Amino acid sequence: MYKLTYKGQFVDGFDTDQVVGNLAQLLNLKPKAVRLAFLSERPSVIKMLDSPSEVERWCAAFQEAGVYLDVVGVDSPDASSISDQIELELELHQLDFTDDEPDERLYLIRKAPAMDAAEPQTFANQPLATRPIADYPVNENQPSGAKAATTNGSPANSHAVNGHDAKGKTVNGKQANGSAVNGSHQNGKTNGTHTSIVTGTAEPIDVSAAAKAKKSAPAAKAPEVKASVAEIPLTEVKETAVHNLSVAQIDALAAQQLVDEPVAEQITETVQAETATDAKKTAAQQAATKQASVKKVAAQSAAVENVSSASEDAPVAKVSPGQQFVEQPSPVDEALDERQREELFDEENLDIPQVDDEWLTEEELALREAQLAEDVDDELHEDVNFHKSHFVWGMLVILLAIIVTAGTILWLKRSSWTPVSVAPQELKINDAIASSSLFGLLHADVDRLQLLSPTTDVFAHFAEPKPGFWDGLTKAGIDVRQQVNDAWLGVYGQNGQSKSLWVLQGNFPADAWREWLKKNYIIDSDSPEGLIFSTMDEYTCEKSPVLSASISNNQIALGAPELVAAFNGRLQAGAAAERNLETWTKGYNNQMISAVLFQPGQLPEGSAAMALGKLSLAAEPIQGIYLGLEPKSFPPAVEFNAIIASNDQQFIADASNKLIAATSVAKTTIATDWPETLPFYERMKIAHDTNQVRASLNMDEQALTSLHLWSSSLLSRAFGVDNAAPVVDGERLETNPAQFVTLPSSELPPFATAKHFNEAFIAQTSSGPFGIGIRTVEQTDQGVEINLDVNAFNLPNLGKESDSVALRITDIVDHQDQSLIPASTGCAGGIKQPSNVNLVYQGNAMENGQAVSFTGLQGAKKIILPAGIALTSVGAVKGVITQQLPVDVERVNLNGPLAGKTIDTQGVQIRFLSSGPSRLYFQVSGNTAALLQVNALNEDGKPLASINAMRGNNFYDAGKTISIDYQGKIAAAEIIVASKLENKKYEFSVARLFPPAKPFLVEKSEPVRLTATALPALEKDSPPNDVVYPYQSPKQTIAAGPALIALNELNLVGGHFSLLADVYTRSSHPLAGQLSAVRLVISEIEDSAGNLHSVNHQMPIAMEHMGGGWVNGKYEPDPARPWLRGQIEMRERPLEQGDAVALWGKMVFLATEDPISIKVPFQFGMQWNSNEGVLKLRRWEAGRLVFDVEGNFPDLMAVKALDDTGTVVSQPAELRTSFGKNTIELDVKQIPETIEFNLARTQKPKEFPVEIRVLQ
């Protein structure tokens, strides 16, 4: 979008043709003089075009549209370091195609070369003749323009003056002494009102006359003059900063100059003016005579305030003959009061024609013809404006004011723009940081960055040792911005991982820093050399990562302990840099930010290579990527520059071309989503030499904010989701859209009175509208893990993006209500971390035989009991649920296309990104709790049904990124936000830390056991040949007696093998629901030489029906699928033979009889050992116990749960395999007293050989 101003009005358009068309409508297709000011971010600032070619492009575009342009170029004083800046002031003239005569070109300002005083007076270099417009005749058809003659009653030098003859007695209405007087020239033509005429040798105008006119000269006899001439009003422009010079003021100056233009064109000779006429009076006279060539705008009053004028009553100054004159006011002017002058000057009544030749005196015509007949240099004529001397002088004054203002700004900010001397200590720090493992280095001159933009928090954009580190210091009264002068960040690669080192130099209260660290972190070591501190991981209770802090009054080093120790040692020893810092240090003195990335192709993490891959650039040839932010003094700017260095000349040439192409493409891709970045790509300059590609870009004082925005856009594009959304056929509307209303009351019904729709959730307590229960208890390597579950149903104004509910644990107490957290070793910090309750889901439930839709809100909190605290010793878990309840809502609609559009309402910032026609892709930041939902609307404004959604936090910026696919084409987006939130708090306490029991929906009977009598049928049977594979066709099939092995995957990698397969038998065999009836054993590995190597890998196989269901406690199979199916998952099993070609083994069917019962008291974490394996109760869910199976249990027939009377309170145990691990799941309807294990006293196997070939 381009924008220009005309008389205070904006004219805009998407291209130059549209700008011209809109402007023509504004002008009603009439010839007008217009000043175009291309606006940048600041109002009334002319856009700076970066190159002459860009200027030419603009000129060509307007000229092709039928518009004349002139350009004034301001050359750069130092072209080697500062790019050319062209300031445009353009004047537009609408072409009149109906007139055969050429249109006159009007110019606002042009270059005027300095003239040599010794040159002969010619039309090309003589001073401009000046005369007020009042001296020009007007057409008789315009009587308002003719004024009465002014008399003063005395002659001068025998010439008629002011209406008298040479004797000074008779009023001369036609002529006197051969000169036209009082409105008539010698031939009697009406010529307007002449107040005075002076003849004599013309002299250059002395600008100092404006200053002299301010003083009152003593009365003196009028000097003898040959004729009289009008006085020239001189405009004095006050010194004004460029950003204070408004468009209206510049337009007013231009209009004032254009009003004076006819005077400069028609007067034949010029004299030194001693007194300047009052600007307002002159304007009134010129308006009254209607001889001006243009209409003055109302904005002229702003310019008149800057005009230096003399008093109307100032007497005639003493002058030398033939050179000086003082104009006297006419009676008409004196008779006009201020109101009448304003009425005469009113733009609505002003219709002033151009001065025509027929209005000039014969003397003036003859003089002009003589001037035109002289030999004039055409090129000089093109370069000199002969009718703008007043304005030229005024513009020179303005330019001087700009230079003074700019100089003042530079002086006040000289600390930012002046290169600083580097202290030897800084060079030592650079060398000490640059060890051999360094791959990234950044330096920030914090002092100058803060001077550049005092309101910007530099450390808000600086990486942190720990989350919230800088902000926490500030809140504690430790102002990092004021204390730090320079900051370094080094990134090192060690053992395939990256670690960071922060070095701060300045003036620090060392004791305050130490106390803050001790208060906010776990201190492992405190010595004069420094502190070792860490945080507690919320889930693992591990102190990770451990950092070291070396603190003195003038320097602080933070980072991994080994990095801090190495840095201090290298600094004290004065070690030399082990990395080549030559290119980096070239800009170190001048740059406020300097950064380098060494060998991006060798980084331990692949993010840099991935980002370069987006540009189709290989990372391996790059030796270094250098970034810098450097202030420029003239024009005042901050230059961002980037360098890619490589010894591969072909790579450099290709990289340059690809970057130029990527920059061009970014204008229509990245800049579509981030329109604020479009000027970056338009102004960016890319060049290259034999071993470097350089990109540079000028920015303003908000460079840090701009770079942050720019980097966010680049990272969003590089690591965002794929824009190619799936094509969705048809349209489906949301059948149960969420309702958002203004709540009459903020009181919500309690959970106990609300309808309970989610049968999977069982509340053990409630608080307000929320139900709380224990979902799982699990034994982990870190300790006992308790998962707390929170649910609520049909909350008002609950949207899919709601993020306004959080749960926080306040205490864990024993049975005597005494806190157990103080006795812990620090993991309580993780326990008390709040967790969001933000999973919004929709479901259906049955109510009175009818399906009812509901909206649920769910969240969870994971609690790991500190070491030394047993689950049985915990009496209760206490906590609080906080809610920001939306009591009033606001809707905002955005029509498509949505890419690049942003909204900022109620503290929520949303930016829509490019996506497919059926996808909403946007980023959210700010007050995310106020965002309730974003709907996709069709052409009729109805919400579409969503089919898929992805939500996640931005890893490179604050906020979230959300992608939602819809069933239909999106025409608009509806954003629903809370305009008023009310804070609510609900405290709770859960006393029993055991998952609740669940009644059985269906009582299942015990499966039929495989006995020895069933083995002959297995032996005689063959594998089924009519199997319908449910997911994929196998890569190969192997027959093993009555079983068909469908091999899906066999991988031999890195000394391990993984085997994934399905086993099928006919459903007539009693194999379903048993724990150890079927087993695969791999006993030998065949190598490429045919040698066999013994191994022992076993996997129990749980066989299940492929269809059917439970009816009245009995399973009814699906007759259409008469097969049993089991899964084999052997993952990461050791393999010593790297050239294995086959796996040999057997399929075992084991008949078990005569069970032995072993009973063990129930306790969470219980463990039962056998000769070949271990069963351990690892997980307790609501209504289910999960045992881990480690090793082999070929004789395990069943697992049961018993109550205190010995009654079975469990379903038949089921064998499960997931990711190569076997578990036994036991559903229980109440907490058992005893667990019973049944083992087979008698076993009879039937084995069938298996050979699985390794396919190449």
More confident residue, 155 or 749: 749
In terms of residue numbers, what domain contains 907? 751-990
Confidence of residue 1242 (pLDDT cuts 50, 70, 90): confident
Among the three residues 990, 1021, 1039, which one is the final residue of a domain in this structure? 990
Q: How far is CA 219 from CA 223, 228, 311, 330, in A?
A: 12, 19, 15, 19
Determine whether 249 is exposed, middle or buried from the number of CB atoms within 10 Å of its CB (0-12, 13-18, 19+): buried
Give 190's strand partners.
184
More confident residue, 267 or 914: 914
Residues 1144, 1093: Cα–Cα separation, whole Å = 10
Residues of the chain with pLDDT > 70, as a percent, come to 62
3-state secondary structure of 211: helix
326-340, 617-631, 850-864, 919-933: least confidently modelled range: 326-340
Q: Which two tokens stand for residue 739?
A: 């309702």
Provide the pLDDT for residue 674.
78
Provide the pLDDT for residue 391.
45
Residues 465, 501: Cα–Cα separation, whole Å = 8
Same domain, 390 and 428: no
Residues 1143, 1086: Cα–Cα separation, whole Å = 6
Beta strand pairing call for 805-813 and 835-836: antiparallel
Query: Is the separation of the CB atoms in 183 and 193 below 8 Å?
Result: yes
- Whether the per-residue pLDDT at 169 is higher than 60: the answer is no
Provide the pLDDT for residue 665.
80
Residue 350 lies in a domain: yes
- Whether the per-residue pLDDT at 217 is higher than 90: the answer is no
Residues 782, 862: Cα–Cα separation, whole Å = 13
Give 626's strand partners.
596, 643
Provide the pLDDT for residue 621.
86
Backbone angles phi, psi at 1124, to 5 degrees: -105, 145
Confidence of residue 1015 (pLDDT cuts 50, 70, 90): very high
Residues 1242, 1152: Cα–Cα separation, whole Å = 6
Give residue-wise pLDDT tens across range 714-748: 767 666 666 566 666 788 998 888 889 999 888 89
Q: Which residues of 813-845 are buried (b: 16+ CB within 10 A; e: fewer)?
A: beeeeeebbeebeebbbbbeeebebbebeeeee
Q: How many domains does the chain have?
A: 6
Confidence of residue 996 (pLDDT cuts 50, 70, 90): confident
**How confident is the model over 75-89, as a mean pLDDT?**
34
Provide the pLDDT for residue 401.
52
Q: Where are the alpha helices (DSSP H) in 850-991?
A: none
Provide the pLDDT for residue 1226.
94
Same domain, 1029 and 1166: yes
- Of 881, 889, 936, 895, give the one whose Cα is nearest residue 908: 889
Residues 545, 498: Cα–Cα separation, whole Å = 12
Give residue-wise pLDDT tens across range 1054-1066: 889 999 999 999 9
**Count of helix runs (H) and strand runs (E) in the chain:** 26, 54
- Of 1069, 1099, 1094, give the one whose Cα is nearest residue 1219: 1099
**How confident is the model over 418-441, as a mean pLDDT?**
82
Provide the pLDDT for residue 1176.
92
- Interhelix angle 16-26/52-64, rounded to 10 degrees, is 50
- Of 881, 915, 1251, give the one whose Cα is nearest residue 1086: 1251
Provide the pLDDT for residue 513.
94
**How confident is the model over 796-810, as a mean pLDDT?**
89
Provide the pLDDT for residue 821.
79
Q: Which residue has the tokens 């942050």?
A: 708
Q: What is the pTM of this model?
A: 0.57
Provide the pLDDT for residue 363.
57
Confidence of residue 226 (pLDDT cuts 50, 70, 90): very low
Residues 164, 175: Cα–Cα separation, whole Å = 9
**How confident is the model over 543-552, as a mean pLDDT?**
86
Residues 600, 662: Cα–Cα separation, whole Å = 20
Q: Which two tokens stand for residue 1255?
A: 């396919």
- Whether the per-residue pLDDT at 379 is higher than 80: the answer is no
Same domain, 1023 and 986: no
Confidence of residue 325 (pLDDT cuts 50, 70, 90): very low
Same domain, 606 and 573: no
Backbone angles phi, psi at 145, to 5 degrees: -85, -20
Confidence of residue 187 (pLDDT cuts 50, 70, 90): very low
Same domain, 1027 and 955: no
**How confident is the model over 170-181, as a mean pLDDT?**
40
Provide the pLDDT for residue 406.
45
Same domain, 565 and 642: no
| DSSP 8-state class, residue 3 | E
Provide the pLDDT for residue 97.
40
Same domain, 616 and 648: yes
Q: Which two tokens stand for residue 988?
A: 């709770």
Same domain, 296 and 182: yes
Give residue-wise pLDDT tens across range 1143-1185: 999 999 999 888 889 999 999 889 888 778 889 999 999 899 9
Provide the pLDDT for residue 156.
40
Confidence of residue 929 (pLDDT cuts 50, 70, 90): confident
More confident residue, 24 or 843: 843
Residues 1041, 1019: Cα–Cα separation, whole Å = 7
- Whether the per-residue pLDDT at 647 is higher than 80: the answer is yes
**How confident is the model over 934-952, as a mean pLDDT?**
91
- Whether the per-residue pLDDT at 1099 is higher than 70: the answer is yes
Residues of the chain with pLDDT > 90, as a percent, come to 29
Among the three residues 956, 990, 1024, which one is the final residue of a domain in this structure? 990
Residues 869, 872: Cα–Cα separation, whole Å = 8
**How confident is the model over 507-534, as a mean pLDDT?**
90
What value does the mean pLDDT of the chain take? Answer: 72
Provide the pLDDT for residue 58.
57
Provide the pLDDT for residue 719.
61
Provide the pLDDT for residue 868.
77
Residue 676 lies in a domain: yes
Give residue-wise pLDDT tens across range 5-45: 544 455 565 555 555 556 555 554 333 333 343 333 333 22
Residue 542 lies in a domain: yes
Residues 860, 839: Cα–Cα separation, whole Å = 9
Q: Which two tokens stand for residue 743?
A: 């709540």
Same domain, 925 and 837: yes
- Whether the per-residue pLDDT at 350 is higher than 80: the answer is no
Backbone angles phi, psi at 615, to 5 degrees: -95, 10
Q: Give the helix, strand, coil percentages of the chain, each rounded to 5.
A: 20, 35, 45
Confidence of residue 858 (pLDDT cuts 50, 70, 90): very high
Query: Is the separation of the CB atoms in 809 and 861 below 8 Å?
Result: yes
Confidence of residue 1018 (pLDDT cuts 50, 70, 90): very high
Provide the pLDDT for residue 718.
64
Provide the pLDDT for residue 1102.
93
Residue 722 lies in a domain: no
Provide the pLDDT for residue 279.
39
**How confident is the model over 917-928, as a mean pLDDT?**
90
- Whether the per-residue pLDDT at 332 is higher than 90: the answer is no
Residue 13 lies in a domain: yes
Residues 343, 1228: Cα–Cα separation, whole Å = 99
Provide the pLDDT for residue 528.
82
Confidence of residue 1219 (pLDDT cuts 50, 70, 90): confident
Provide the pLDDT for residue 484.
92
Provide the pLDDT for residue 501.
94
Residue 744 lies in a domain: no
Provide the pLDDT for residue 93.
39
Reported as type and span, the H/E element at residue 1235 is strand 1234-1253
- Whether the per-residue pLDDT at 98 is higher than 70: the answer is no
Residues 655, 617: Cα–Cα separation, whole Å = 7
Give residue-wise pLDDT tens across range 591-643: 888 888 888 877 666 566 666 666 667 778 888 888 888 887 656 677 888 88
Beta-strand ranges (E) seen in 647-740 are: 685-688, 692-699
Same domain, 561 and 604: no
CA 388 from chain centre, in angstroms, equals 48
Residue 591 lies in a domain: no
Give residue-wise pLDDT tens across range 1133-1143: 998 888 899 99
CATH (domain of 524): 3.40.1000
Same domain, 977 and 1045: no
Provide the pLDDT for residue 281.
41
Provide the pLDDT for residue 872.
86
Backbone angles phi, psi at 79, to 5 degrees: -65, -20
Same domain, 1049 and 1191: yes
DSSP string, 235-251: P-PPP--GGG--HHHHH
Residues 930, 769: Cα–Cα separation, whole Å = 20
Provide the pLDDT for residue 315.
37
Whether the link from the prior residue into 1007 is cis, omega within 30° of 0, is no
Residues 85, 47: Cα–Cα separation, whole Å = 10
Residue 276 lies in a domain: yes
Provide the pLDDT for residue 539.
53
- Of 1212, 1172, 1203, give the one whose Cα is nearest residue 1189: 1172
